[in-house]
Amino acid sequence: QGKFTLLRDTRTDGSFLVHHFLSFYLRAGCKVCFVALLQSFSHYSIVAQKLGVSLAAAKEQGQLVFLEGLKSCLDLLFGEEEQPGQPSPLQFLSGSSCDLRALFDFVRVSLSATAGHSWKGPVLLVDDLSVLLSLGAAPVAVLDFIHYCRVCVCCQLKGNVVVLVHSNEDSEDEENELVVNSLCHHSDLILWAEGLATGFCKDVHGQIKIIKRLSLRQAEQDLVQTYQYKIQDRNVTFFARGLSAAVL
Amino acid sequence: LVFTEEDKYGLYSSLLFKYFLAEGVVCGHDLFVASAKEHPANILKELPAPLLDDSYRKELGDEAAAVKSEDFQDSMKIAWRYQNLPKMETSPTTYTKFGHYYDVSKKMSPELCQSVKLHSFYLHEELPFEPKMKTWNMNSAYARLLQSIQRIISQEGFDGSDPQKKQRNVLRIGIQSLGSILWGDDVCCSDAPEDPQSLTKFLYVLRGLLRKSLSACIITVPAHLIQNKAIMERVTNLSDMVVGLESFIGSERETNPLYKDYHGLVHVHQIPRLNSLICDVSDTKDLAFRLKRKQFTIERLHLPPDLSDTVSRASKQDLAGSAKLLSSGCGAMAIGKKHLDF
């Protein structure tokens, strides 16, 4: 309850973690607000079906509030004039406001309204935050947005927040690194998917570092575990380093 | 969304671009060609002619048969462990039904070109930006291009908005040299461009348009001119597939004996991971291309055997250095630090 989880990937694609958390929270009966900025609804839907969850059904029942970033952006840019009562969540794109307030309002409204159903704790899932920078949001605006979400979802509503970001050790994208580093310091749990240090391998797709923050003040007390993983069509298998099935 | 990084002189990337469009013509897809450099009609005049199935298949079939009969009897004596490994196929000898082959030395006939609908966008012939559109915060050339694409998609029913249209077709979009100065974007010229987010915003909106319609798009970008690497990282994130072409013209690799059979390298930086947890990764990461008189082929890179009489230490180090450069991995699967070479 009230946890902020950061999903981070470096030189590989960590979206399998997003799919996992989505189906995990839906199966647990939580109310999920999914801000999907990079892919379409059908993409997530098809993968979720392989993992045993139906996104369409969850949406019908009101368990899942899905913001499809791509579609919302098109509606904003190509659609008719927006209705005064329903501002587009991605309003910052058209330049009328340079902060992500509208997006936050969308999140707050979708997770607060729980009349009629008793879902377990609310969850905010974002895929992925680095896209907001590409769309012109300032790093400070992104951090403010996350801060507001955290206060609202984690503290007030006692829910969880899971956010995916991309990062790179020798990245030249300073704005992105700024956001990622800042989020790392504020997270309770960091799941970091990385490429193997030895290069590409067919059987081991990467390694994942799980960093649990025991105390927000002292970094030495963090619990760090490392596993390697292989992604399959319906599943991801994790194993201890060096013990891939291909080797044994 | 296929994002192609152009090679230095743009020769090979424009060839790849034309292949994409030619395939569209042969398959009967509608085409949308956008360019700020040359008029789309001119681009279309230069599409390679498709090879008639029968004659080419026969050629390929003959070659394959010849190869097979030769080394069928040879069994390896010294390196017998390698016998069990599948034969390395550099080029597709067993033709597949997917796609067509083209003859680069011949141009596509005008009748074939005209058999599909072409929508073109030549920047210098377009009307200026309509003032009634909302402020988009984007380079106006990009905005106009997006509007044009969106208009075609909705008018021609590629987004399924017209239920009466029984036959649904695919729209192939090709955008040439995006990001170059001709589009009014200085991202290729200066280290600190005026509006660095125009390109990424454009890609995001384009991605949205592609996702909601039956279309596929190839973009070529003179990436070697973009100084700001942060933009390239963001762009890679926003594209489904990123391929880079590196030609050997004018570089030291042209004379390097390793690469004497090839004209350049193909770097696959990212492959699409759509509708699935996994992506389709091929066995090898080292691809090179060459332009023969009739054909443009992409093959696995073969290091030629080291048959020189005087094998000096210097050349061996050179080989090792180049070999390290070869095995750089691809972004969808993990890549790591290259300090181990196998």
| pLDDT for the residue numbered B97 | 42
What are the strands of the beta sheet with A189-194, ordered from one edge?
A64-68, A30-36, A120-127, A160-167, A4-10, A189-194, A206-212, A223-231, A236-239
Is A131's CB within 8 Å of B237's CB? Answer: yes
How far, in Å, CA of A134 to CA of B238, rounded? 9
Q: Is pLDDT of B338 > 80?
A: no
B77 part of a folded domain:
no
Q: Is pLDDT of B163 > 50?
A: yes
Is B334's CB within 8 Å of A206's CB? Answer: yes
Q: How far is B50 from chain A (nearest CA, A)?
A: 34
Q: Tell me the ipTM for this assembly.
A: 0.85
B29 part of a folded domain:
yes
Assigned token pair, A208: 């994942």
What sections of chain A are H helices per DSSP? Answer: 15-27, 41-50, 55-61, 69-78, 101-112, 130-134, 139-149, 174-186
> How many other β-carbons are positioned within 10 Å of the β-carbon of residue B286?
18
Q: Would you say A25 and A120 are in contact if contact means Cβ atoms under 8 Å apart?
A: no
Is B201's CB within 8 Å of A71's CB? Answer: no
| pLDDT for the residue numbered B161 | 61
Tens digits of residue pLDDT in B265-298: 777 777 677 666 666 555 556 666 666 666 666 6
Select from B97, B96, B92, B103 the least CA-distant residue to B22.
B103
Is A95's CB within 8 Å of B136's CB? Answer: yes
Q: Which residue has the higher pLDDT, B28 or A227?
A: A227
Q: How far is B338 from chain A (nearest CA, A)?
A: 7
How far, in Å, CA of B171 to CA of B244, rounded? 24
Burial class (CB in 10 A: 0-12, 13-18, 19+), B230: buried
Is B136's CB within 8 Å of A94's CB? Answer: yes
Residue of A nearest to B274 (CA): A43
When pLDDT is averaged across residues B140-169 and rounded to a whole number, the result is 73
Put simply, whether the predicted model's pTM sits higher than 0.80 gets the answer no
Give the structural domain span for B135: 2-51+99-243
A234 part of a folded domain:
no
B237 part of a folded domain:
yes
Residue B161, domain CATH = 3.40.50.300
| pLDDT for the residue numbered A247 | 60
pLDDT bracket for residue B132 (50, 70, 90): very low
Q: Is pLDDT of B341 > 50?
A: no
Interface test with A, best of B144, B152, B204 (most A CBs within 10 A): B204
Residue of A nearest to B341 (CA): A198
Is A134's CB within 8 Å of B340's CB? Answer: no
Pick B337's closest partner by Cβ from A15, A174, A197. A197
CA dihedral B266, B269, B275, B280 (to 10 degrees): 50
Pick A166's closest partner by Cβ from B209, B212, B237. B237
Q: Is pLDDT of B239 > 70?
A: yes
Q: What rounded mean pLDDT belongs to chain B?
A: 62
How far, in Å, CA of A70 to CA of A86, rounded? 18
| pLDDT for the residue numbered B340 | 38
Chain B contact set for A235 (CB, 8 A): 277
Pick A194's closest partner by Cβ from B209, B233, B334. B334
How far, in Å, CA of A120 to CA of A160, rounded? 11
| pLDDT for the residue numbered B13 | 63
Pick B275's closest partner by Cβ from A43, A135, A176. A43
Residue A154, domain CATH = 3.40.50.300
Q: How many structural domains does chain B have?
A: 1
Strand partners, A66: A34
Interface test with B, best of A8, A51, A71, A74 (most B CBs within 10 A): A74
B278 part of a folded domain:
no
Tens digits of residue pLDDT in A140-184: 888 888 888 888 888 787 888 888 888 877 777 788 888 888 888
pLDDT bracket for residue B96 (50, 70, 90): very low
B319 part of a folded domain:
no
Q: How far is CA B202 from CA A212, A230, B138, B205, in A?
A: 38, 34, 8, 5
Q: Which residue has the higher pLDDT, B127 or A213?
A: A213
Q: How far is A177 from chain B (nearest CA, A)?
A: 10
Which of B:196-225 have CB within 8 Å of A? 197, 200-201, 203-205, 207-209, 211-212
| pLDDT for the residue numbered B279 | 60
Alpha carbon B171 to chain centroid, angstroms:
17
Q: How far is CA A35 from CA A1, A69, B155, in A?
A: 20, 7, 30
Is B207's CB within 8 Å of A134's CB? Answer: no
When pLDDT is averaged across residues B5-28 and rounded to a whole number, the result is 64
Chain A contact set for B338 (CB, 8 A): 199
How far, in Å, CA of A105 to CA of B304, rounded? 62
How far, in Å, CA of B148 to CA of B157, rounded? 14
A227 part of a folded domain:
no
Q: Is pLDDT of B207 > 80?
A: yes
Cα-trace Rg, chain B: 22
Give the structural domain span for A20: 3-81+92-203
Is A94's CB within 8 Å of B137's CB? Answer: yes
Q: Do strands A160-167 and A4-10 pair parallel, antiparallel, or not at all (unpaired)?
A: parallel
Least confident stretch, B15-19, B60-64, B156-160: B60-64
How far, in Å, CA of A196 to CA of B338, rounded? 10
When pLDDT is averaged across residues B3-17 and rounded to a whole number, the result is 64
- For chain A (248 residues), the mean pLDDT of every run of 10, in chain order, is 83 81 86 86 86 85 85 77 61 68 83 68 85 84 88 82 83 82 86 74 76 69 75 74 63
Is B334's CB within 8 Å of A195's CB? Answer: yes
Residue of B nearest to A128 (CA): B237
| pLDDT for the residue numbered A28 | 86
A189 part of a folded domain:
yes
When pLDDT is averaged across residues B184-202 and rounded to a whole number, the result is 72
Q: Which amino acid belongs to residue A215?
A: S
Alpha carbon A14 to chain centroid, angstroms:
10
Q: Is pLDDT of B115 > 50?
A: yes
B79 part of a folded domain:
no
| pLDDT for the residue numbered A221 | 64
Q: How many structural domains does chain A have?
A: 1
